Amino acid sequence: MRISILIILIAFMNSCNKENYTTEKKKGNTLQKIMYEHGKITNSKTYKSGILNAEFIYDNSGVIIKMYQYYSNGKIQSYSYLIKKPNHYVTKIYHKNKQIASEGEGDYFKDKNLYLRRGTWIFYNNTGVPYSIYTFGHDEKNEYIQDEVIFDTVKNKIIKEARYDPAVLYKK
Task: Judge contact between 84 and 64, C-beta under 8 A.
Answer: no
**Alpha-carbon distance values, 172 to 18, 73, 81, 143, 144 (Å):** 43, 24, 23, 9, 11
Residues 88 and 130 in one domain: yes
Regarding whether 81 and 140 lie in a shared domain, the answer is yes
Q: Is there a domain that residue 6 lies in?
A: no
Q: Which domain holds residue 44?
A: 20-62
User: 77 and 138 share a domain?
Assistant: yes
Confirm whether 14 is domain-assigned. Answer: no
What is the domain count for the chain?
2
Q: Does 83 lie in the same domain as 50?
A: no
The yes-or-no verdict on residue 10 having pLDDT over 60 is no
Is the domain of 84 the same as that of 24? no
What would the mean pLDDT of 59-74 be, rounded to a whole number?
A: 96
Examine residue 85 and state whether it is found in any structural domain, yes or no: yes
Domain end: 12, 30, 62, which one?
A: 62
> Within a domain: residue 134?
yes
Give tens-digit pLDDT for 16-51: 556 899 999 999 999 999 999 999 999 999 999 999
Is the pLDDT at 171 greater than 90? The verdict is: no
Give a yes or no: residue 38 inside a domain: yes
Give the mean model confidence (pLDDT) for residues 53-61. 96
> How many CA atoms within 13 Å lie on the side-chain side of 53?
10
Same domain? For 78 and 131 the reply is: yes
Distance of alpha carbon 113 from alpha carbon 166, whole angstroms: 27
Query: Taking a C-beta distance cutoff of 8 angstroms, is the pair 19, 42 a contact?
Result: no
Establish if 95 belongs to a structural domain: yes
- Average pLDDT taken over every residue of the chain: 92
* pTM summary value: 0.84
Band the pLDDT of 115: cuts 50, 70, 90: very high
Q: Report whether pLDDT(6) > 50.
A: no
pLDDT the model gives residue 149: 98
Is 9's pLDDT higher than 50?
no
